[in-house]
Chains A and B, each alone.
Chain A
């Protein structure tokens, strides 16, 4: 993936809103129009489409081609990816693969969801049999189980989680696309005092489900040059791990798939974690950031909280982290939430992040997380490494 033959040439992110009342197709339309305008290309260039599945239109078994029809797209390649918050980063890799396979030339990677306005999701499966009777409060409950075990094995430093919450909140204050309800200053004390949901998960450990959409345009570097692209970002490494340790019936639940996906992505990019210049991890819960720091090799296993305390993770720091606010402080646009961190990384590498622009912007790492298996951590792990074109 590191031939730099694939380029992201434009992006767009909508305002993230709570209960916007908008239809997911409307959000998707805004994202596509915005990305096309940002790239400065004609819509007719798009011959491939990779979309994340969503809650809002989850009952539609033909979501991808139907949405493409609403968007006026004629396509040679069409893909829906249902890896939850890992779909957007996964779709950049899928778009690159489809382009390299000669199936299409220019792909619209799109993620839209209006989950806080309309949710038609019905996950069913083991949940209907073995989860719903237990009364577990969905993802916060699962992350409560995970956090308790992590605390037992390694010790959980609540001050480190509070620092993550405050760092991301400060970034959201500088991001006018972030949900307005979350754009107020936060202290570590407020984090610690926030109501317990599923001990030790507090309200401010969690994302707030919102509505929103993002889009990226992916093409060949050669075509990007022909189109006169002023700026571009190359995907140079990608790794994916679905259902890590699935056949093990009693795995260590603090071991996540990012260990595999990260090693693969870093190897392809020819980089070590210490060389990553900004980090944009999927953040449905604060502890997910700690686990990823460890399992991606930024620090040793069990040392994630210490790493957080020892590093400046602000946009001016030594490892800028989720500079758009992350989903926890910008809002989670349903299953499109995984595109928030992705677009922020691309925005930083384009040098278009305004007041929160990072100084070192040669590369960035983005991760995705999706779906929650029975009694474990998370089912989908993706790692995407991006590089600014020189």
Chain B
């Protein structure tokens, strides 16, 4: 089965910080890890050096379910360097049941099929030599 992903093979590798390394270690095992603040009982994304809720550093990493819905999207007709010659592709903000949003690509979905509220599920692509989380339609 072919994959619909106009950015395939072109994504630059992310540049982790020391405090975000666990996220990328999880990605290597295809696990989407979110920071969880047990005092607030909430997750946060993107990874930070502190809880945005409490201001304390009492944070754990928890694996997300991999489910989500499209909060918003845009069909991009251009991509900045280092991308070259991409056909229109979909950027989505996905809302996870864990209470955070992730901005990423929606693959395996023609641009005219994406809709706000549609269910999506986690998938993994390569960004440089690293695994990067994207989403695809959840049939």
Contacts and interface: CB of A to CB of B under 8 A. Distances in A.
A136 to B, nearest CB: 5
Contacts, number: 120
B76 A144 contact: yes
A200 B71 CA distance: 15
Q: In which size bucket is the chain B interface?
A: 35 or more
A247 B53 contact: yes
Interface in A138-160: 138, 141, 144-149, 152
A251 B131 CA distance: 28
Nearest to A243: B52
Given A131-B103, A134-B103, A137-B79, A145 B74 contact: yes
Given A129-B20, A136-B103, A375-B103, A201 B74 contact: yes
A124 B52 CA distance: 20
Given A129-B20, A133-B11, A375-B103, A145 B52 contact: no
A305 to B, nearest CB: 18
Nearest to B95: A250
B76 A135 contact: yes
A334 to B, nearest CB: 17
Interface residues of A, number: 35
Nearest to B89: A135
A256 to B, nearest CB: 15
Contacts of B33: none
B74 A129 contact: no
Interface stretch (A62-70, A191-199, A219-227, A356-364): A191-199
B101 A130 contact: no
B75 interface: yes
A246 interface: yes
Nearest to A150: B72
Interface string A370-388: 0000110000000000000
Contacts of A126: 46
A60 interface: no
A197 B74 CA distance: 10
A146 B17 CA distance: 28
A130 B89 contact: no
Interface in A236-270: 246-247, 249-250, 253
B14 A148 contact: no
Given A137-B80, A249-B44, A249-B101, 8 more contacts: A129-B14, A129-B15, A135-B89, A137-B78, A199-B75, A247-B52, A249-B100, A375-B103
21 contacts: A129-B17, A130-B14, A135-B7, A135-B11, A135-B86, A135-B105, A136-B80, A137-B76, A137-B78, A138-B80, A145-B91, A148-B72, A148-B73, A196-B75, A199-B75, A249-B42, A249-B101, A250-B95, A253-B72, A374-B46, A375-B93
